[in-house]
Amino acid sequence: MGLTIARVRVKNPDNGASRELSLLVDTGSMLTWIDRRVLEELRVRPRRTRRLKTIEGCVIERRTGLVTLEMEGNEADVEVVFAEKGDAQVLGVIALESLGYMVNPITGRLEYVGYIAYRSSVDGKLNP
């Protein structure tokens, strides 16, 4: 299977500034990583510093902030990592699922699946 690329619009929810980006879809990454310079250009405010484990097993610290991502008319507010030099720009699984998408394991393409909700049980029976 090849690489899956997503075309997304990154928007600062505070001021509306936005930019379109192509991000590698990485279902092994929980968070989305966007170049720090892009986030600073959009004036995204860092909210916290997180300790993150790299695929090599190293622990690093990166700032994170909140953005609105838009893809094919679907929007989600997500936490993003301010990627530093040497970090990849990726669309992580939390953002992917928050937008309502999944990667088809056969085709490697993104597919909109929407949002799956399970209703509570009625009379002791599970109502999907």
Q: For the chain, how many structural domains are there in total?
A: 1
Which residues, listed in sequence order, are joined to residue 11 by a DSSP beta bridge? 18, 68
pLDDT one digit per residue (tens) for the chain, 128 residues: 579 999 999 999 999 999 999 999 999 999 999 999 999 999 999 999 999 998 889 999 999 999 999 999 999 999 999 999 999 999 999 999 999 999 999 999 999 999 877 666 666 665 55
Three-class SS state of 113: coil
Q: Domain containing 23 — which CATH number?
A: 2.40.70.10
- Distance from C-alpha of 97 to C-alpha of 76, rounded to nearest angstrom: 9
In this prediction, residue 116 carries a pLDDT of 74
Q: What range does the domain containing 14 cover?
A: 5-127
Which residues, listed in sequence order, are joined to residue 6 by a DSSP beta bridge? 23
Looking at residue 12, the DSSP 8-state letter turns out to be -
In this prediction, residue 1 carries a pLDDT of 53
- Distance from C-alpha of 80 to C-alpha of 34, rounded to nearest angstrom: 7
Three-class SS state of 25: strand
The answer to whether the beta carbons of residues 76 and 122 sit under 8 Å apart is no
In this prediction, residue 115 carries a pLDDT of 85
Closest CA to 44 of 74, 21, 25, 19: 19
Looking at residue 86, the DSSP 8-state letter turns out to be T
